[in-house]
Amino acid sequence: MTASAIVMMIVAIVVVWGGLALAIHNLSRTTREEPDEVHRDL
């Protein structure tokens, strides 16, 4: 593999895993308030 291919692979890995880490961090940071009663119309 050439040096440019390795650099592009590293950039792609950082983008994918960084996005996953940010998404997990964002989901764990926000707290959802559960409603007392849930009414579902079917």
pLDDT for the residue numbered 2 = 96
Please tell me the distance from the alpha carbon of residue 23 to that of residue 21, in angstroms, as a whole number.
5
pLDDT tens profile 2-42: 999 999 999 999 999 999 999 999 988 887 777 778 888 77
- In 3D space, the residue among 37, 19, 35 whose CA is nearest the CA of residue 27 turns out to be 19
pLDDT for the residue numbered 37 = 84
Residue type, 37: E
- The C-alpha torsion from 17 through 22 and 23 to 28, rounded to 10°, is 130
pLDDT for the residue numbered 34 = 78
Which is more confidently placed, 33 or 1?
1
pLDDT for the residue numbered 7 = 97
User: Contacts for 32-36 with beta carbons within 8 Å, 24 or more apart?
Assistant: none
